[in-house]
């Protein structure tokens, strides 16, 4: 296998002043990319701002002989994101890679959470990722190439106590990623998601020192570099942590078809074991694949001709 390189390519990494973002920025630069180190410089909860962290990462990249620029755009602000992208195009003429990594935490149980805190987390994680993807999209379409990574979380895929806002934002990225992977295919724009388990300032108070030592950001960055490489997959959710990598998949069970007098809520409950049986589960390529599946099942159950033969 040829080495993964990014020579001549330009990458934007959001939230790149510390933690995972910093590691991703350094990893991209080490393999030849010009890197935009975006970081608002705020606290974990999103308050405050400052450019020192981003500038420090730029200095690290320059010290290793790479090219980088710092940018303090707030990803939840579409105008600031558009200005950032315009600056990158003016400086380097292209954008090949976007790693959406910026995020904040405002954890509370749903009963105690203020909706302003719910909105703030959605704005940074979900809307911020959409703002960045939307701003780089026309440039990737024009050049016929692009790689976009969204940073999701196990909290979004599987749930976690006290993180309704964070989980909703992180799972919302799934729908965005799926659609962009489909819409970007003809332009060789590939969209994927990373679900990291990492030792960062967001997790340092939750994990023991021994576990934190295993989950350093540097153990996850190789997965990101794979997802933004020329040979990257698309529409994939890559779980990563401590040098371990796995695919997280959303599958639909084979299910059952109920007809006529059996089409009742009681029958649905009675068939729940079969409905939830994982045997024969499959990944749907797109939303209409589910429609075709149900139409076929319903027609077969009623003895009608199949509506599709493909």
294 is catalytic: no
Element (H, E) at 306: none
Residues forming a β-bridge with 89: none
Place of tokens 């007098």: 261
Which are the contacts of 156, defined by CB distance < 8 A and separation ≥ 6? 166, 167, 168, 169, 170, 171, 172, 173, 174, 195
From the list 217, 212, 192, 201, the residue with the least C-alpha distance to 27 is 217
Q: What distance in Å separates the CA atoms of residue 80 and residue 199, rounded to the nearest whole number?
A: 29
Distances in whole angstroms, Cα of residue 172 to Cα of each of 25, 151, 166: 25, 11, 10
Provide the strand spans (E) within the chain.
10-14, 34-38, 68-71, 97-100, 146-151, 189-196, 237-241, 244-248
Structural contact between residues 307 and 296, judged by C-beta atoms closer than 8 angstroms: yes
Helix (H, G, I), strand (E, B) or coil at 132: helix
Choose the catalytic residue: 46, 166, 172, 184: 166
Element (H, E) at 30: helix 19-30
Q: What distance in Å separates the CA atoms of residue 149 and residue 192, rounded to the nearest whole number?
A: 5
Give catalytic residues, as residue numbers.
166
């Amino acid at each position: 296998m040829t080495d993964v390189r990014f020579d001549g390519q330009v990458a934007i990494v959001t939230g790149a002043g510390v933690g995972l973002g910093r590691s991703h920025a350094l990893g991209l630069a080490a393999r030849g990319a010009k890197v935009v180190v975006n970081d608002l410089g705020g606290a974990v909860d999103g308050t405050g701002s400052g450019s020192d962290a981003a500038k420090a990462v730029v200095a690290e990249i320059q010290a290793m002989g790479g090219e980088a620029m710092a940018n303090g755009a707030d990803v939840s602000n579409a105008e600031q994101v558009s200005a950032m992208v315009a600056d990158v195009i003016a400086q380097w003429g292209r954008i090949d890679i976007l790693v959406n990594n910026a995020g904040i935490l405002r954890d509370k149980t749903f009963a105690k959470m203020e909706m302003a805190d719910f909105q703030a987390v959605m704005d940074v994680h979900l809307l911020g990722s959409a703002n960045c993807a939307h701003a780089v999209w026309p440039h990737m379409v024009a050049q016929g190439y692009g790689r976009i990574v969204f940073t999701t979380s196990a909290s979004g895929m599987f749930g976690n106590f006290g993180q309704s806002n964070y989980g909703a934002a992180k799972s919302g990225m799934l729908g965005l990623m799926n659609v962009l992977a489909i819409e970007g295919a003809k332009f060789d724009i590939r969209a994927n998601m990373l679900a990291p388990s990492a030792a960062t300032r967001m997790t340092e108070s939750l994990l023991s020192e021994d576990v934190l030592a295993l989950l350093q950001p540097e153990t996850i960055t190789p997965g990101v570099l794979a997802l933004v490489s020329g040979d990257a997959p698309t529409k994939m959710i890559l779980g990563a942590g401590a040098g371990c990598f796995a695919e997280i998949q959303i599958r639909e069970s084979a299910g059952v078809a109920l007809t006529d007098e059996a089409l009742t809520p009681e029958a649905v409950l009675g068939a729940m074991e079969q409905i939830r049986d994982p045997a024969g589960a499959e990944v749907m390529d797109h939303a209409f694949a589910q429609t075709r599946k149900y139409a076929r099942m319903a027609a077969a159950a009623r003895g009608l001709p199949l509506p599709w033969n493909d």
